[in-house]
Structure 1
Amino acid sequence: MSGPPPQPHAGPAQGSELSRPEHGDASLLSLWSRIPLYIRILAGLLLGIVVGVVLGPHAHILEVPSKLVLRLLGALAPPLILLAVVQVLMRAELPKGAAFRLLSLLLLNTCVAILIGLLVANILQPGRWIPVKLEEPAKETAVVNPLSLFLDNIPKSVLGPFGDEGKVISVIMIAVAFGIALRSRKDRSIATVSDLVDTALETLLTLLHWIIEIIPLAVFGIVASLIGVRGFHAFVPLGGFIVAVLLALVLQVVYYLVRIRFGSWVDPFKVLHDMRDALVMAFSTASSTVTMPVTYSALRERVGLRERSASLGALVGANFNNDGTALYEAMSALFISQLVGQHLTLGQQFMVVLTSIVASVGAAGIPEAGIVTMTLVFKAVGLPTEYILTLLTVDWFLDRCRTAVNVMGDVNVSCLLDGHTPESAEVPAAALSVSAPEPPPP
């Protein structure tokens, strides 16, 4: 019983010594993950400012993490959009009569959002307030031939768009084709294909989550590098960018309210009051997916919409609706082009519109969708993608604002689908027609 103490005690002691670092690493990772992303990004921003001031031009080496993150995001974006679109098209239950109206409303809202964003960015031009001097002169943009632009986005092969070019329009074309084809085969057993799509999408979302975890480090690196090499003037225009984006989002909400006023029976100001919980939750969580049940419940119980209208707009439509994100991406592209002195022609701005539309449709169900798809929008018009991480220093706030606008877009679509007559008005009319006495025979 009283054997030599060193022998039995030595093994566990060594084991515990070896296990402590693993447990400590796990605890640190758990603590890191529990901190909200926007707080981590703000911490990276502040630390990057300090390190950039201290190191000066020597801080340029710290931009390596930012380039790594951008490469990884660019690699994940095409397959993510492909699988997200295929999954939605396979699973979405769209009544034949309402499908065309729903999709037309979603497309119209997205187009208006992008045009509002481009209009505000072209008028205010926040990127020209304090332009950044590039180490290399900006390349002159070539005149875009519409026919060449169209043909250039037709995929030459199924796997071609998933290479380094990252042409999002080609990816969406392939995704829609596969999604519709698989949807047409619903009479056959496609459970295996559906499970494969689900598993692949979940796997890519897990990888995306890992990349998002290191985004604060990338923000730290790009901020330290910019502050050290170029000073604070590179960040001054972001104040004007915030004002421009908020103004554009407000104009988009005004458009929604006007459409509700003249296109449905619902009072637009009552809608704002009744949907306050959903809008506040969208702003707080920065997730329209998490807010979806609250949105649907408020549309049914407070606003009083029909079940079909509420479900189509808030549940089905939410998988395609990303108006706020599309507006933000278009404004970001124009802002960065102004910031670096790279003029975008009308043809390239049209390309921004087209790419933002298809990217917003493809990424509606992807977390941090704006970060993922913005790399594709920038590549489509030849903008430097490293400035995306500069925008992330204010994105934590703007993301919440545009998520609330996304939810307001779902509300807008639901109200328009409900028509000019409330559901409650149909019951008395039906009862009156049933209870009305038959006229006496002549």
Structure 2
Amino acid sequence: MPFPEDEQIEPAPGAFAWWRRLPLYVRILAAVALGVVTGLLLGDGAASLAIPAKLVLRVLGALAPPLILFAIVQAVINAPVSGRQSLRLTTLLAVNTIVAIVIGLAVANVLRPGEWVRMTPPVTNAKAAASAADPLTQFLDSVPRSIAGPFTDDGKVIGVILLAIAFGLSLRKLRNYPIQTVEDLVHVGLSSLVTILEAVVEVVPLAVFGVVASIVGAKGLSDFLALGGFVGAVIAALLLQGVYYLVRVRLGSWVRPAALLRGVRDALTMAFSTASSTATMPVTYRCLRDNVGLREQSASLGALVGANFNNDGTALYEAMSALFVAQMLGMHLTFSQQLMVVLTSIVASVGAAGIPEAGLVTMTLVFKSVGLPTEYIALLLTVDWFLDRCRTAINVMGDVTVSSLLDGKTPEKPVSPTLQNV
């Protein structure tokens, strides 16, 4: 049953309405610039400013398990595939994701950007200012580490109150939504969690400001060299994944790589500009049908169905992030631990296409799987806005590749000379 449009709540006008109208990446860039200035002015006194980042990561860690649960359930329920085509689609998606993670781990192990500059994360500096920020610290300790946390024997009643307020506000726009099927119930659950997540994302620029200010205040600008190396390593790995896609298309499809890139450039551009593979799905489908000439079933399975499961760029990024932080801390991840990173990244990436800032949400699960402290994710907030766009473009390129492979080696119609070029 198609879902009716949810009631939209317009943001209340106010002094900061202009700020909220700015794209998130613009707000993050402004927060980085302001954080640098504040860190230089306050020095070590900026350590306590990292507390908002701890709060954001605490909430993300609590939201991640139920978000992934509902996202996967909804994706599986709505997937209109069965039989051999379903098996083939699943196999292609799994292979592409595994290759992406292996490429990411290989690049991170070879370049080892985490060892270029040893950093002391700003969140650890906040401990030195705990006495000065005692009320904030006490409030942070009251924020649940998981959705079920406040209901355990040692749970705190303030955690129950915070959960009640969060879900009450998020369910206001769904209060008249009719629940007649299990699918409706899953939709309500996922929508309420996504609404809470969207509110958390609004605070990300504040967290970035605190992280940058505390880093610069404690150690100057030198620590950003390691982040620069990490960005370079991730981009190199994403480019290798792109090359892998084109080779697969050349060997397993009638479509030629150069013609494919020309045909879907609008989709790739939109993916990079919006950082949303979900928003790009209609454009991807249209490009595959009108510009490339794929069959309707192949285009829809890869661009519309596969997009809900295929997040190769996100999985690659999460695996590299875990290894980067481990290297930065001087920790050695064994083969079995890196295998756990692979498995967790695969599971966490499934169904994450419709989750805002999915990389940050699912990364908490990946870090916890190998015992990495999730507060170190705060260091990646300063560059995540850019890498999110890069990995989203690779996610869409993965959808395009799957569609081309599903179309086989024989085109539906005679191929134009443009599409025959290599």
- Asked whether the two chains share a fold, i.e. TM above 0.5, the reply is yes
CA contact (8 A) 1:300 1:307 kept: yes
Counterpart-to-counterpart distance in 1, 2:117 and 2:359 = 25
1:277-292 alignment, distance < 5 Å: 277-292=266-281
| 1:425–1:393 Cα change, 3 Å | same
Query: Which of the residues 71, 81, 85 maps onto 1:98?
Result: 85
**How far is 1:119 from its partner?**
0.3
* Coordinate RMSD, CA, aligned: 2.2
Q: What is the percent sequence identity of the aligned residues?
A: 64
Change in 2 beyond 3 A, CA 1:163/1:350: farther
Radius of gyration: which is bigger? 1
* Displacement after TM superposition at 1:163 (Å): 5.1
- Cα shift at 1:227: 1.7
| Runs of at least 4 residues off by over 3 Å | 133-137, 161-164
The residue number in structure 2 matching 1:406 is 395
Alignment of 1:287-436 (within 5 A): 287-424=276-413
Alignment partner, residue 210 of structure 1: 199
Q: Judge conservation of contact 1:109–1:323 (CA < 8 Å) in 2.
A: yes
Deviations 1:371-408 (A, max 9, x none): 11111111111212222122121111111111111000
Tell me, yes or no, if structure 1 residue 250 matches structure 2 residue 239. yes
Shift of 1:231: 2.6
2:128 aligns with: none
User: In the TM superposition, what are the counterparts of 1:25-174 in structure 2 within 5 Å?
Assistant: 26-132=13-119
Q: Deviations over 1:280-315 (max 9, x none)?
A: 111111111111001001101111111000000000
After TM superposition, give the deviation of residue 27 of structure 1 in Å. Answer: 2.5
Partner SS state of residue 364, structure 1 = helix
State the alpha-carbon separation in 1 of the partners of residues 247 and 376 from structure 2.
35
Instruction: Give the Cα separation in 2 of the matches to 1:345 and 1:317.
Output: 32
**SS of 2:238 mapped into structure 1:** helix
What per-residue deviation string (whole Å, max 9, x for no partner) do you get for residues 238-261 of structure 1? 111111111101100100000000
Distance 1:326 1:337 in 2: 17
Measured after TM superposition, the shift of residue 316 of structure 1 is 0.3
AA in 2 matched with 1:242: V
Q: Is the 8 A contact 2:54 2:123 kept in 1?
A: no
CA deviation after TM superposition for structure 1 residue 340, in Å: 1.6
In the alignment, the residues of structure 2 paired with residue 55 and residue 134 of structure 1 have an alpha-carbon distance, to the nearest angstrom, of 17
Shift of 1:114: 0.3
Checking the alignment, whether the CA contact within 8 Å between 1:69 and 1:211 is kept in structure 2 is yes
The answer for the alignment partner of 1:199 in structure 2 is 188
Structure 2: how far apart are the matches of 1:312 and 1:28?
45
User: Structure 1 residues 401, 136: CA separation in 2 closer, same or farther (over 3 Å shift)?
Assistant: closer
Distance 1:384 1:55 in 2: 27
Shift of 1:135: 11
Structure 1 residue 364: deviation in Å?
Answer: 2.5
- Taking a change above 3 Å as real, the CA distance of residues 163 and 341 of structure 1, as seen in their structure-2 partners, is farther
Q: Secondary structure at the match of 1:253?
A: helix
Give TM-score scaled by structure 1 length.
0.77
Q: Render the CA deviation track for 1:66-106: whole Å, top value 9, x for unaligned.
A: 11101111111111111111111111110322000000000
Alignment match, 1:263? 252
* Matched position secondary structure for 1:424: coil
The separation in 2 between residues aligned to 1:112 and 1:238, in whole angstroms, is 24
Give the paired residue count: 356
CA distance in 2 between counterparts of 1:63 and 1:392 reads 12
Kept in 2, the 8 Å contact 1:134–1:340? The answer is no
- Taking the aligned partners of 2:188 and 2:63, their CA distance within structure 1 comes to 15
CA offsets 1:161-201 (integer angstroms, 9 cap, x no match): 9656xxxxxxxxxxxxxxxxxxxxxxxxx943221211121
Task: List alignment gaps of at least 5 residues for structure 2.
Answer: 1-9, 125-145, 150-178, 416-422
Within 2, Cα distance between the matches of 1:323 and 1:236? Answer: 26
Post-superposition offset of 1:29: 4.3
In 2, Cα distance between the equivalents of 1:265 and 1:95?
24
The change in CA–CA distance for 1:203 and 1:136 in structure 2 (over 3 A counts) is: closer
Amino acid at match of 1:99: S
Which whole-Å deviations, capped at 9, do the CAs of 1:207-258 have from their partners, x for residues lacking one?
1000000000011111111222233222211111111111101100100000
Give per-residue Cα distances to partners, 1:316-338, cap 9 Å, x unaligned.
00000000000001011111111
Q: Partners of 2:412 and 2:91 in 1: how far apart?
A: 23
**CA shift for structure 1 position 279:** 0.6
Q: 1:45, 1:393 within 8 Å by CA — same for their partners in 2?
A: yes
In the alignment, structure 1 segments of 5+ residues that lack a partner are 1-22, 138-160, 165-189, 427-442
Q: CA shift at 1:136, angstroms?
A: 13
